[in-house]
Structure 1
Amino acid sequence: MLWISVLLSWVCACSVPQSEPLQQWEHAEAGAYAADISSSGQIAVVAGMNNTISVWQVGEAEPVYQWSHQGDTATLIGNIHIAADDSTIVTADRDAFALWSMAQGDPIGFWRIDESSIRDVAVANQGQGVLVGRGNGKVMYFEPETGRRMEFLGHQSKVNSVDISPNGKYALTGGNDYVAYLWSTETGQIIHTFNHPSRVTLVAVDDKGRYAFTADSQQKSQIWNLQTGAPVANLQYIARQKIFTDAVFSDDGQYLLTGSPARRIYLWEVKTGEQIGEWAVSPRDGASMPSALVYAVAFVNNNTVLSESSSGFAELWEIEHE
């Protein structure tokens, strides 16, 4: 039985994540309902209590801006996305979305969706295009400056996650119909189809156009070659199920960083799908359950990563290199 003991010791040792951040900042006093971190790892946008959206320069003691989504109306901000160039931010509740300028701190526009609830949003560089995934299976691509609007009707069921290329030309969407599609926002034509055995819960596009990530509600969490549509690696884990809440690729394309609904942040090797790092974000003191949902993750540099979670904390973590 010695080999069993050794194996169990190895599994236990590998499953204990780092839980002490290098630094921690409180960005939402009573907890957060949604958040995103910029691709640069320098800006965080957090939706807290009382319909308040705070924009932070990470590391600063006070927010750069504080916004209200629908005036005095009590709304729950469920989705936030920062453009890859840090220029614009889109925020959304179930019924409406707003576009904001990072430079001026002012709203660019506010639009209401009457047909179906908003499930996810994404915005391209300079706010040139906004993607809105909805509960009726439709995805709207909208250009605020020109007013051009396109409906993508490829999904047969509820859309759960959307992402957009920095130039706004390509959309990646996934839904309850077990499929993720890469499609053109210029023509609406499908470029690649990524099939899954269960509902697709998260999609993410590499900002440099090399990879796509799609994950379902069971065990298929796949990295794809964005140019060819061919599989690169399936994330390697023993658990029968893993749900991911956010995913970003490193600038050099070697790593994938993911967040989860159960405090965990994972670092993966892109070529193999092997997990090479893990951290556990902090719950709020006095919380009835010591847990937190990781809303957003980002690479700050080659040595550190950043997280935003439902506990209202931004936390900086060290990558332990071998």
Structure 2
Amino acid sequence: MGCSVPDTTPIQQWRHVEEGAYAADISTDGTLAVVSGVNNGVNVWRIGQSEPLFHWSHQGEGNNLVMSVHISADKRYVVTADREAFALWSLETGEPEGFWRIDEASIRDVAVTNNGNGILVARSNGKVMYFEPRTSRRLEFFGHQEKVNSIDISPNGKYALTGGNDYIAYLWNTDTGQIIHTFTHPTRVTKVALDDEGRYAFTADSQSKSQVWDVQTGQPVTALKFASRQKIFTDVEFSKDGRYLLTGSPARKVYLWDLKSGEQIQSIQVASRESISPPTAVVYGVAFLPNDNIVSISSSGLAEEWQRER
């Protein structure tokens, strides 16, 4: 096995958090990171710089409990959430544009559209809310029968993808709440993602089914091929040309996949949190850089750039 293990020494490495991170996201072009730190609130970084662009406190200056972060595809807005509330922030001014509390069930995941026009909020009671901050329009999606684990929204805000413990992922319309496609799994759906170019959807369960679908037809495009009994994903990014898929995992791994064949092209192991035993790290964000390399950010508080295998 020694010969087949790829070199996972990063080209560059930047520390964004000293004591580790609860959550993070990387912009689709790999240039911005938003990191929720264990001990220093939420910070916005231009990757490669030594000082953050903005420092945010989600609920005042108390303990930071932000567990979900999402950057809009156009890099203009960020949504942050703890279990009880979510906030919308401008990446142009660094200012908050709204703060909303959820009473009936805890927040599981959040996503925001281009221009901050729409926010998607998943909750533990199976309900998903689509909310337009500037018009106060609100739509509740009741398709799921159990806890919702993962959500994503198209950049234009018209389509939502949601997956839950009921073994189902739904692609649905945020204007009407009508289901467009239903994607079924043998176990609970743990991760979903939409291609920003509007071509594909990704759904994965807690065991062995990780599937890319055609969003127009609802038909399967490819299944990721891996030998392990199960593979859990924490972030998913489609390449702009639609040929590759990048995934992060809770066990320090970043994988590059061929979208057409489902074959794994590259495996990367990110730096661990040294203060934890055994040393480990959750990969929160992955992206393709403009120079065609790969960037990751993890619970270790480190952003790392990697040479991409050709």
Q: 2:10 is matched with which residue: 21, 27, 33? A: 21
Shift of 1:320: 1.7
For 1:16-165, what aligned pairs fall within 5 Å after superposition? 16-50=5-39, 52-165=41-154
Is the Cα contact below 8 Å between 1:39 and 1:299 reproduced in 2? yes
Secondary structure of residue in 2 paired with 1:126: helix
Is the Cα contact below 8 Å between 2:123 and 2:148 reproduced in 1? yes
Return 214-223 or 50-59, whichever deviates more: 50-59
One-letter amino acid of the counterpart of residue 39, structure 2: N
Q: 1:289 is matched with which residue: 278, 282, 302? A: 278
**How large is the RMSD of aligned CA atoms in angstroms?**
1.1
Is the Cα contact below 8 Å between 2:19 and 2:39 reproduced in 1? no
Is the Cα contact below 8 Å between 2:57 and 2:64 reproduced in 1? no
Unpaired runs of 5+ residues, structure 2, are none
Which residue of 2 is the match for residue 182 of structure 1? 171
What fraction of aligned residue pairs are identical, expressed as a percent?
64
Shift of 1:302: 5.6
The alignment status of 1:211 with 2:186, answered yes or no, reads no
TM-score (norm. length: structure 2): 0.98
Structure with more of its chain in helix, by fraction? 1
Give me the whole-angstrom Cα distance separating, in 1, the residues matched to 2:291 and 2:223: 23
One-letter amino acid of the counterpart of residue 231, structure 1: P
One-letter amino acid of the counterpart of residue 254, structure 1: R
Count, aligned residues: 310
Which residue of 2 is the match for residue 5 of structure 1? none
Give me the whole-angstrom Cα distance separating, in 1, the residues matched to 2:292 and 2:36: 28
Unpaired runs of 5+ residues, structure 1, are 1-8
1:256-308 deviation line (CA, Å, top 9, x unaligned): 00000000000001111100011000013343222110001011136301101
Shift of 1:18: 3.0
TM-score (norm. length: structure 1): 0.94
Which residue of 1 is the match for residue 264 of structure 2? 275
1:141-194 deviation line (CA, Å, top 9, x unaligned): 000000000000000000000000000000000000000000000000000000
Is the Cα contact below 8 Å between 2:265 and 2:309 reproduced in 1? no
Secondary structure of residue in 1 paired with 2:115: helix
Larger Rg over CA atoms: 1
Is the Cα contact below 8 Å between 1:51 and 1:69 reproduced in 2? no
1:37-94 deviation line (CA, Å, top 9, x unaligned): 0011110000002360000001000000000000023241110000000000000000
The alignment status of 1:193 with 2:182, answered yes or no, reads yes
| Runs of 4+ residues over 3 Å off in structure 1 | none
